[in-house]
Homo-oligomer: A and B are copies of this chain.
Amino acid sequence: MTMKFKVLDGDVTSPKGFKASGIHAGIKKAKKDMTLIVSDVMAEGAAVFTTNKACAAPVIVSKACVNQGKIKAIVVNSGNANACTGDKGLEDAWTMAETTAKALGVEKENVIVSSTGIIGVPMPMELVVPGIEQAAAELSYDGGLAAAEAIMTTDLCMKKIAVEVEIDGKTVTLGGIAKGSGMIHPNMATMLSFITSDVKIDGDFLQESLKQITQKTYNMITVDGDTSTNDMVAVLANGAAGNKAIDDKHPEKDKFLEAFYFINEYLAKAIVRDGEGATKFLEAEILNAPTEEDAQLAVKSILGSSLVKTAFFGEDGNWGRILCSIGYSGADYDMDKIEIFLSSAAGEIQIVKAGQGVGASEEKMLEILKCTDIKITADFHKGTASAKGWGCDLSYDYVKINGAYRT
Protein backbone atom coordinates (compact mmCIF):
# COMPACT_ATOMS: atom_id res chain seq x y z
CA MET A 1 0.00 0.00 0.00
CA THR A 2 1.18 3.57 -0.58
CA MET A 3 1.58 5.34 2.74
CA LYS A 4 -0.60 8.41 3.03
CA PHE A 5 1.62 9.72 5.83
CA LYS A 6 5.23 10.74 6.43
CA VAL A 7 7.47 9.13 9.07
CA LEU A 8 9.62 11.55 11.07
CA ASP A 9 12.57 11.09 13.40
CA GLY A 10 10.47 12.54 16.21
CA ASP A 11 8.84 11.89 19.56
CA VAL A 12 6.05 13.09 21.87
CA THR A 13 7.01 16.75 21.48
CA SER A 14 6.85 16.63 17.67
CA PRO A 15 3.10 17.44 17.60
CA LYS A 16 2.16 21.09 18.18
CA GLY A 17 1.40 22.19 21.73
CA PHE A 18 3.18 19.50 23.74
CA LYS A 19 6.01 19.98 26.24
CA ALA A 20 7.92 17.19 27.95
CA SER A 21 10.83 16.56 30.29
CA GLY A 22 12.84 13.69 31.69
CA ILE A 23 14.89 14.11 34.85
CA HIS A 24 16.70 12.17 37.58
CA ALA A 25 14.62 12.11 40.75
CA GLY A 26 16.82 9.58 42.52
CA ILE A 27 14.55 6.52 42.40
CA LYS A 28 17.22 4.94 40.21
CA LYS A 29 20.88 5.36 41.18
CA ALA A 30 22.14 7.38 38.25
CA LYS A 31 19.78 7.16 35.28
CA LYS A 32 16.83 9.44 34.50
CA ASP A 33 13.68 8.12 36.18
CA MET A 34 10.92 10.76 35.94
CA THR A 35 9.03 11.73 32.77
CA LEU A 36 6.40 14.41 32.33
CA ILE A 37 4.37 14.94 29.15
CA VAL A 38 2.08 18.00 29.10
CA SER A 39 -0.35 19.45 26.60
CA ASP A 40 -0.58 23.24 26.47
CA VAL A 41 -4.38 22.94 26.53
CA MET A 42 -6.68 20.29 27.97
CA ALA A 43 -6.52 17.26 25.66
CA GLU A 44 -8.75 14.33 24.81
CA GLY A 45 -7.31 11.37 26.68
CA ALA A 46 -7.59 7.71 25.78
CA ALA A 47 -5.87 4.70 27.30
CA VAL A 48 -5.82 0.92 27.52
CA PHE A 49 -4.45 -0.93 30.53
CA THR A 50 -3.15 -4.33 31.60
CA THR A 51 -5.83 -6.96 32.18
CA ASN A 52 -3.74 -8.41 35.01
CA LYS A 53 -5.86 -8.62 38.16
CA ALA A 54 -2.78 -7.78 40.18
CA CYS A 55 -2.67 -4.40 38.42
CA ALA A 56 -0.56 -1.64 39.92
CA ALA A 57 -1.84 1.39 41.84
CA PRO A 58 -1.08 3.87 39.01
CA VAL A 59 -3.22 1.76 36.67
CA ILE A 60 -6.18 2.07 39.04
CA VAL A 61 -5.68 5.83 39.35
CA SER A 62 -5.21 6.41 35.62
CA LYS A 63 -8.34 4.40 34.76
CA ALA A 64 -10.36 6.70 36.99
CA CYS A 65 -8.81 9.82 35.46
CA VAL A 66 -9.24 8.77 31.82
CA ASN A 67 -12.88 7.86 32.49
CA GLN A 68 -13.69 11.33 33.87
CA GLY A 69 -12.67 13.07 30.66
CA LYS A 70 -10.07 15.67 29.69
CA ILE A 71 -6.36 15.06 30.32
CA LYS A 72 -3.61 17.65 30.71
CA ALA A 73 -0.55 15.55 31.49
CA ILE A 74 1.06 12.14 31.85
CA VAL A 75 3.55 11.63 34.70
CA VAL A 76 5.73 8.51 34.61
CA ASN A 77 8.42 7.22 36.92
CA SER A 78 10.78 4.32 36.30
CA GLY A 79 12.62 2.33 38.98
CA ASN A 80 9.56 1.46 41.05
CA ALA A 81 6.31 -0.06 39.68
CA ASN A 82 4.20 0.82 42.73
CA ALA A 83 2.61 -2.63 42.28
CA CYS A 84 1.45 -4.98 45.06
CA THR A 85 1.85 -2.06 47.45
CA GLY A 86 -1.68 -2.02 48.90
CA ASP A 87 -3.56 1.07 50.13
CA LYS A 88 -0.35 3.04 50.69
CA GLY A 89 0.55 2.47 47.03
CA LEU A 90 -2.83 3.79 45.90
CA GLU A 91 -2.41 6.85 48.12
CA ASP A 92 1.09 7.43 46.65
CA ALA A 93 -0.22 7.18 43.07
CA TRP A 94 -2.90 9.80 43.85
CA THR A 95 -0.21 11.98 45.45
CA MET A 96 1.76 11.78 42.18
CA ALA A 97 -1.32 12.96 40.28
CA GLU A 98 -1.97 15.74 42.81
CA THR A 99 1.63 16.97 42.78
CA THR A 100 1.59 17.08 38.97
CA ALA A 101 -1.81 18.80 38.87
CA LYS A 102 -0.70 21.42 41.41
CA ALA A 103 2.43 22.25 39.39
CA LEU A 104 0.28 22.67 36.25
CA GLY A 105 -2.71 24.38 37.85
CA VAL A 106 -5.24 21.65 37.05
CA GLU A 107 -7.15 18.95 38.94
CA LYS A 108 -5.58 15.61 39.87
CA GLU A 109 -8.24 13.90 37.69
CA ASN A 110 -6.62 15.57 34.65
CA VAL A 111 -3.40 13.56 35.11
CA ILE A 112 -2.47 10.07 33.93
CA VAL A 113 -0.04 8.36 36.32
CA SER A 114 2.29 5.56 35.24
CA SER A 115 5.05 3.61 36.96
CA THR A 116 7.51 0.90 35.98
CA GLY A 117 10.15 -0.84 38.03
CA ILE A 118 10.43 -3.04 41.08
CA ILE A 119 7.24 -4.75 42.31
CA GLY A 120 6.26 -4.75 45.96
CA VAL A 121 8.49 -1.94 47.19
CA PRO A 122 6.88 1.24 48.62
CA MET A 123 7.38 4.36 46.46
CA PRO A 124 10.11 6.66 47.82
CA MET A 125 7.72 9.63 47.88
CA GLU A 126 10.35 11.90 49.47
CA LEU A 127 12.15 11.62 46.12
CA VAL A 128 9.09 11.31 43.85
CA VAL A 129 7.35 14.55 44.89
CA PRO A 130 10.33 16.88 44.40
CA GLY A 131 11.15 14.88 41.26
CA ILE A 132 7.77 15.72 39.76
CA GLU A 133 8.21 19.39 40.69
CA GLN A 134 11.63 19.46 39.02
CA ALA A 135 10.22 17.70 35.91
CA ALA A 136 7.49 20.36 35.73
CA ALA A 137 10.09 23.12 35.98
CA GLU A 138 12.14 21.62 33.14
CA LEU A 139 9.27 21.14 30.66
CA SER A 140 10.18 22.21 27.12
CA TYR A 141 8.94 21.91 23.53
CA ASP A 142 11.90 19.71 22.69
CA GLY A 143 11.90 17.61 25.86
CA GLY A 144 10.66 14.49 24.05
CA LEU A 145 14.04 12.75 23.91
CA ALA A 146 14.65 13.20 27.63
CA ALA A 147 11.12 11.91 28.24
CA ALA A 148 11.80 8.80 26.13
CA GLU A 149 15.04 8.20 28.03
CA ALA A 150 13.53 8.55 31.51
CA ILE A 151 10.91 5.82 31.01
CA MET A 152 13.53 3.20 30.09
CA THR A 153 14.33 0.49 32.61
CA THR A 154 16.61 -2.19 31.20
CA ASP A 155 15.67 -1.40 27.62
CA LEU A 156 18.73 -1.55 25.42
CA CYS A 157 17.48 1.05 22.98
CA MET A 158 15.22 4.09 23.08
CA LYS A 159 11.84 3.65 21.36
CA LYS A 160 10.45 6.78 19.70
CA ILE A 161 8.84 7.89 16.46
CA ALA A 162 6.62 10.54 14.92
CA VAL A 163 4.28 10.56 11.93
CA GLU A 164 2.83 13.40 9.86
CA VAL A 165 -0.46 13.18 7.97
CA GLU A 166 -2.58 15.80 6.19
CA ILE A 167 -6.21 16.09 7.33
CA ASP A 168 -8.55 18.83 6.02
CA GLY A 169 -5.47 20.42 4.46
CA LYS A 170 -3.89 20.78 7.90
CA THR A 171 -0.70 18.99 8.97
CA VAL A 172 -1.54 16.59 11.79
CA THR A 173 1.38 15.08 13.71
CA LEU A 174 1.48 12.05 16.00
CA GLY A 175 4.45 11.32 18.27
CA GLY A 176 5.14 8.31 20.46
CA ILE A 177 7.58 6.84 22.96
CA ALA A 178 7.61 3.37 24.52
CA LYS A 179 9.52 1.20 26.96
CA GLY A 180 9.66 -2.38 27.97
CA SER A 181 11.09 -5.54 26.55
CA GLY A 182 9.15 -8.06 28.57
CA MET A 183 9.53 -8.34 32.31
CA ILE A 184 13.18 -8.45 31.47
CA HIS A 185 14.64 -7.68 34.86
CA PRO A 186 13.58 -9.57 37.98
CA ASN A 187 10.59 -7.72 39.42
CA MET A 188 10.55 -5.26 36.55
CA ALA A 189 7.24 -4.47 34.96
CA THR A 190 6.82 -4.38 31.27
CA MET A 191 5.24 -2.33 28.49
CA LEU A 192 4.45 1.39 28.43
CA SER A 193 3.56 3.41 25.34
CA PHE A 194 2.65 7.10 25.25
CA ILE A 195 1.37 8.88 22.18
CA THR A 196 0.67 12.56 21.65
CA SER A 197 -1.07 14.24 18.74
CA ASP A 198 -2.21 17.71 17.77
CA VAL A 199 -5.16 16.17 15.92
CA LYS A 200 -8.64 17.42 16.77
CA ILE A 201 -10.64 14.29 17.47
CA ASP A 202 -13.76 13.10 19.26
CA GLY A 203 -12.78 11.54 22.62
CA ASP A 204 -14.96 8.45 22.29
CA PHE A 205 -13.77 7.86 18.74
CA LEU A 206 -10.16 8.12 19.92
CA GLN A 207 -10.74 5.63 22.75
CA GLU A 208 -12.54 3.18 20.46
CA SER A 209 -9.83 3.45 17.79
CA LEU A 210 -7.08 2.90 20.34
CA LYS A 211 -8.90 -0.16 21.69
CA GLN A 212 -9.22 -1.70 18.23
CA ILE A 213 -5.65 -0.88 17.19
CA THR A 214 -4.26 -2.27 20.47
CA GLN A 215 -5.87 -5.62 19.63
CA LYS A 216 -3.84 -5.81 16.43
CA THR A 217 -0.57 -4.34 17.71
CA TYR A 218 0.42 -4.45 21.40
CA ASN A 219 -1.85 -7.42 22.02
CA MET A 220 -0.20 -9.33 19.17
CA ILE A 221 3.35 -9.15 20.49
CA THR A 222 4.83 -11.60 22.95
CA VAL A 223 8.23 -11.79 24.54
CA ASP A 224 7.70 -14.29 27.31
CA GLY A 225 3.92 -14.49 27.62
CA ASP A 226 3.89 -12.82 31.00
CA THR A 227 1.31 -10.02 31.20
CA SER A 228 2.68 -7.40 33.52
CA THR A 229 1.00 -5.53 36.34
CA ASN A 230 1.66 -2.09 34.85
CA ASP A 231 1.02 -2.25 31.09
CA MET A 232 -0.43 0.98 29.74
CA VAL A 233 -0.90 2.69 26.39
CA ALA A 234 -2.05 6.32 26.72
CA VAL A 235 -2.86 8.89 24.04
CA LEU A 236 -3.30 12.68 24.34
CA ALA A 237 -4.86 14.65 21.47
CA ASN A 238 -4.97 18.43 21.92
CA GLY A 239 -6.51 19.63 18.64
CA ALA A 240 -3.76 22.20 17.90
CA ALA A 241 -3.59 21.10 14.25
CA GLY A 242 -6.90 22.83 13.60
CA ASN A 243 -8.51 20.10 11.50
CA LYS A 244 -12.25 19.42 11.72
CA ALA A 245 -12.82 17.05 14.66
CA ILE A 246 -12.32 13.47 13.50
CA ASP A 247 -15.13 11.07 14.23
CA ASP A 248 -16.86 8.16 12.55
CA LYS A 249 -18.32 10.48 9.87
CA HIS A 250 -15.15 12.44 9.01
CA PRO A 251 -14.29 11.82 5.31
CA GLU A 252 -10.56 11.49 6.04
CA LYS A 253 -10.82 9.42 9.23
CA ASP A 254 -9.18 6.41 7.56
CA LYS A 255 -6.13 8.51 6.68
CA PHE A 256 -5.72 9.36 10.36
CA LEU A 257 -6.40 5.80 11.50
CA GLU A 258 -3.76 4.49 9.10
CA ALA A 259 -1.15 6.79 10.64
CA PHE A 260 -2.43 6.05 14.14
CA TYR A 261 -2.18 2.31 13.44
CA PHE A 262 1.33 2.67 12.01
CA ILE A 263 2.75 4.48 15.03
CA ASN A 264 1.33 1.86 17.39
CA GLU A 265 2.52 -1.09 15.30
CA TYR A 266 5.97 0.52 15.05
CA LEU A 267 6.28 0.94 18.82
CA ALA A 268 4.90 -2.57 19.49
CA LYS A 269 7.45 -4.11 17.13
CA ALA A 270 10.25 -1.98 18.62
CA ILE A 271 9.42 -3.48 22.04
CA VAL A 272 9.72 -7.05 20.74
CA ARG A 273 12.91 -6.25 18.82
CA ASP A 274 14.38 -5.24 22.20
CA GLY A 275 13.00 -8.41 23.86
CA GLU A 276 15.10 -9.94 26.58
CA GLY A 277 18.00 -11.89 25.16
CA ALA A 278 16.36 -11.85 21.76
CA THR A 279 18.61 -12.72 18.82
CA LYS A 280 15.80 -13.10 16.26
CA PHE A 281 12.79 -10.95 15.42
CA LEU A 282 9.88 -13.17 14.39
CA GLU A 283 6.75 -12.21 12.49
CA ALA A 284 3.96 -14.77 12.22
CA GLU A 285 1.07 -14.34 9.82
CA ILE A 286 -1.95 -16.58 9.30
CA LEU A 287 -3.75 -16.27 5.96
CA ASN A 288 -7.20 -17.43 4.87
CA ALA A 289 -8.49 -18.52 8.28
CA PRO A 290 -12.25 -18.97 9.00
CA THR A 291 -12.24 -16.00 11.44
CA GLU A 292 -9.80 -13.36 12.62
CA GLU A 293 -9.95 -14.96 16.08
CA ASP A 294 -8.79 -18.29 14.64
CA ALA A 295 -5.93 -16.50 12.93
CA GLN A 296 -4.96 -14.61 16.08
CA LEU A 297 -5.08 -17.76 18.23
CA ALA A 298 -2.69 -19.51 15.85
CA VAL A 299 -0.33 -16.51 15.61
CA LYS A 300 -0.10 -16.21 19.40
CA SER A 301 0.38 -19.95 19.82
CA ILE A 302 3.27 -20.07 17.33
CA LEU A 303 5.04 -17.05 18.84
CA GLY A 304 4.37 -18.23 22.40
CA SER A 305 5.74 -21.74 22.00
CA SER A 306 9.01 -22.25 23.88
CA LEU A 307 9.85 -25.02 21.42
CA VAL A 308 9.32 -22.80 18.38
CA LYS A 309 11.28 -19.98 20.05
CA THR A 310 14.25 -22.19 20.96
CA ALA A 311 14.22 -23.73 17.47
CA PHE A 312 14.65 -20.29 15.88
CA PHE A 313 17.37 -19.46 18.39
CA GLY A 314 19.10 -22.65 17.23
CA GLU A 315 18.39 -21.75 13.59
CA ASP A 316 16.55 -25.05 13.27
CA GLY A 317 13.73 -25.02 10.68
CA ASN A 318 11.61 -27.21 12.89
CA TRP A 319 8.27 -27.18 11.03
CA GLY A 320 6.88 -29.98 13.22
CA ARG A 321 6.89 -27.63 16.18
CA ILE A 322 5.16 -24.84 14.26
CA LEU A 323 2.44 -27.24 13.09
CA CYS A 324 2.15 -28.64 16.62
CA SER A 325 1.74 -25.17 18.17
CA ILE A 326 -1.01 -24.36 15.67
CA GLY A 327 -2.58 -27.72 16.53
CA TYR A 328 -3.07 -26.86 20.20
CA SER A 329 -3.92 -23.19 19.60
CA GLY A 330 -7.65 -23.81 19.45
CA ALA A 331 -7.78 -22.31 15.96
CA ASP A 332 -10.10 -23.89 13.41
CA TYR A 333 -8.16 -25.28 10.42
CA ASP A 334 -7.79 -28.48 8.38
CA MET A 335 -4.58 -30.46 8.60
CA ASP A 336 -4.89 -31.55 4.98
CA LYS A 337 -5.10 -27.94 3.72
CA ILE A 338 -2.48 -26.07 5.74
CA GLU A 339 0.65 -24.70 4.06
CA ILE A 340 3.58 -23.13 5.94
CA PHE A 341 6.34 -20.91 4.59
CA LEU A 342 9.50 -19.39 6.10
CA SER A 343 10.96 -16.20 4.69
CA SER A 344 13.63 -13.61 5.40
CA ALA A 345 16.00 -11.33 3.53
CA ALA A 346 17.60 -14.53 2.19
CA GLY A 347 14.40 -15.60 0.42
CA GLU A 348 11.33 -17.76 0.97
CA ILE A 349 10.86 -21.52 1.33
CA GLN A 350 7.79 -23.71 1.71
CA ILE A 351 8.16 -26.17 4.60
CA VAL A 352 4.67 -27.68 4.93
CA LYS A 353 2.09 -28.61 2.29
CA ALA A 354 -1.27 -30.29 3.03
CA GLY A 355 -0.17 -30.71 6.65
CA GLN A 356 2.97 -32.63 5.75
CA GLY A 357 6.64 -31.73 5.36
CA VAL A 358 7.77 -31.07 1.82
CA GLY A 359 11.36 -32.07 2.45
CA ALA A 360 12.61 -28.51 2.14
CA SER A 361 16.30 -28.00 1.39
CA GLU A 362 18.26 -27.76 4.66
CA GLU A 363 20.81 -25.44 3.05
CA LYS A 364 18.18 -22.99 1.80
CA MET A 365 16.38 -23.17 5.16
CA LEU A 366 19.58 -22.39 7.08
CA GLU A 367 20.28 -19.38 4.81
CA ILE A 368 16.83 -18.03 5.70
CA LEU A 369 17.18 -18.80 9.42
CA LYS A 370 20.59 -17.13 9.67
CA CYS A 371 18.89 -13.75 9.19
CA THR A 372 17.77 -11.69 12.19
CA ASP A 373 14.27 -10.98 10.89
CA ILE A 374 12.29 -14.09 10.02
CA LYS A 375 8.67 -14.46 8.93
CA ILE A 376 6.49 -17.52 9.42
CA THR A 377 3.44 -17.61 7.15
CA ALA A 378 0.72 -20.23 7.46
CA ASP A 379 -2.07 -20.41 4.89
CA PHE A 380 -5.16 -22.24 6.21
CA HIS A 381 -7.02 -22.18 2.87
CA LYS A 382 -10.20 -22.21 4.92
CA GLY A 383 -11.62 -18.70 4.76
CA THR A 384 -10.63 -15.09 4.21
CA ALA A 385 -9.56 -13.85 7.67
CA SER A 386 -5.96 -13.14 8.56
CA ALA A 387 -3.82 -11.95 11.49
CA LYS A 388 -0.25 -10.92 12.13
CA GLY A 389 1.89 -10.93 15.27
CA TRP A 390 5.45 -10.41 16.41
CA GLY A 391 7.76 -12.20 18.82
CA CYS A 392 11.35 -13.20 19.42
CA ASP A 393 13.41 -16.32 20.04
CA LEU A 394 14.23 -17.86 23.42
CA SER A 395 17.97 -17.67 24.08
CA TYR A 396 20.46 -18.54 26.80
CA ASP A 397 20.49 -14.85 27.65
CA TYR A 398 16.77 -14.87 28.45
CA VAL A 399 17.42 -17.53 31.07
CA LYS A 400 20.54 -15.72 32.23
CA ILE A 401 18.86 -12.30 32.52
CA ASN A 402 15.83 -13.72 34.29
CA GLY A 403 17.41 -16.50 36.28
CA ALA A 404 20.88 -15.44 37.27
CA TYR A 405 19.93 -12.09 38.76
CA ARG A 406 20.95 -12.56 42.38
CA THR A 407 23.47 -15.32 41.82
Q: Which residues of A contact B (CB under 8 A)?
A: 51-55, 83-86, 118-121, 183, 186-187, 224-229, 304-307, 310-311, 313-316, 318-321, 323-328, 331, 333, 335-336, 352, 354-357, 393-396, 398-400, 402-407
* Complex partner residue of A316 from B183, B227, B356, B406, CB under 8 angstroms: B406
- What is the interface of chain A mostly: helix, strand, loop, or mixed? loop
Q: Is B186 within 8 A of A356, CB to CB?
A: no
Contact of A51 among B120, B311, B328, B403 (CB under 8 A): B328
- In the bound complex, residues from chain B placing their C-beta under 8 Å from that of A399 are 310, 313, 394-396, 398-399
Give A359's nearest chain B residue, CB to CB. B120
Contact partner of A356 among B120, B320, B325, B331, CB < 8 A?
B120
Task: Evaluate contact between B356 and A84: CB separation under 8 angstroms.
Answer: yes
Instruction: Point out the residue from B118, B226, B335 that lies within 8 Å of A307, measured CB to CB.
Output: B226
- A400 and B391 CA atoms in complex are apart in Å by 20
Q: Write the nearest CB–CB distance from A210 to chain B, whole angstroms.
A: 21
Q: Are A227 and B306 in contact (CB under 8 A)?
A: no
Tell whether, in the assembled complex, residue B316 and residue A405 are in contact, meaning their CB atoms are under 8 Å apart: yes
Tell me the smallest distance from the CB of A209 to a CB of chain B, in Å: 25
**What is the CA–CA distance of A310 and B306 in the complex, to the nearest angstrom?**
13
**Known contacts A307-B183, A311-B186, A328-B53; A403/B225 CB under 8 A:** no
B356 pairs with A86, CB closer than 8 A: yes
Q: Are A314 and B54 in contact (CB under 8 A)?
A: no
Q: Are A54 and B120 in contact (CB under 8 A)?
A: no
Decide: A226 and B325 in contact? CB cutoff 8 A.
yes
- What's the minimum C-beta distance from A290 to chain B, rounded to whole angstroms? 13
Question: A407–B314 contact, CB under 8 A?
Answer: yes
**Residue on B nearest A358 in the bound complex, by CB:** B120
| A327-B55 contact, Cβ under 8 Å, with A186-B316, A187-B318 | yes
A382-B271 Cα distance, complex, nearest whole Å: 37
A314 to B185, CA, bound (A): 13
* A308 to B, closest residue via Cβ: B226
Can you list 16 residue pairs at the A/B interface with Cβ under 8 Å?
A: A53-B326, A53-B331, A84-B320, A84-B335, A120-B323, A120-B356, A120-B357, A183-B307, A186-B320, A187-B320, A226-B324, A306-B394, A306-B398, A313-B399, A315-B407, A394-B399
Complex contacts, A314 vs chain B, CB 8 Å: 402-407
**Leading 6 A-B pairs by shortest Cβ distance:** A54-B327, A314-B403, A119-B320, A310-B402, A310-B403, A227-B328
Instruction: Report Cα–Cα, A403/B262, bound state, in Å.
Output: 33
Cβ–Cβ < 8 Å partners of A54 in chain B: 323-324, 326-328, 335, 355
Contact A120 to B403, CB < 8 A, known contacts A183-B324, A324-B52: no
What's the Cα separation between A352 and B212 when bound, in Å?
A: 36
Q: How far, in whole Å, are A357 and B119 apart by their CA atoms in the complex? A: 9
Contacts of A227 in B (CB 8 A): 324, 327-328
B residues near A187, Cβ cutoff 8 Å: 318, 320-321
Complexed CA–CA distance, A333 and B51 (Å): 14
- Tell whether, in the assembled complex, residue B320 and residue A83 are in contact, meaning their CB atoms are under 8 Å apart: yes
**List of B residues within 8 angstroms of A393 by Cβ:** 403
The CA-CA distance from A305 to B182 in the complex, in Å, is 12
Contact between B407 and A403 (Cβ–Cβ < 8 Å)?
A: no
A316 to B185, CA, bound (A): 12
A227 to chain B, nearest CB (A): 4
Contact A226 B356 (CB under 8 A): no
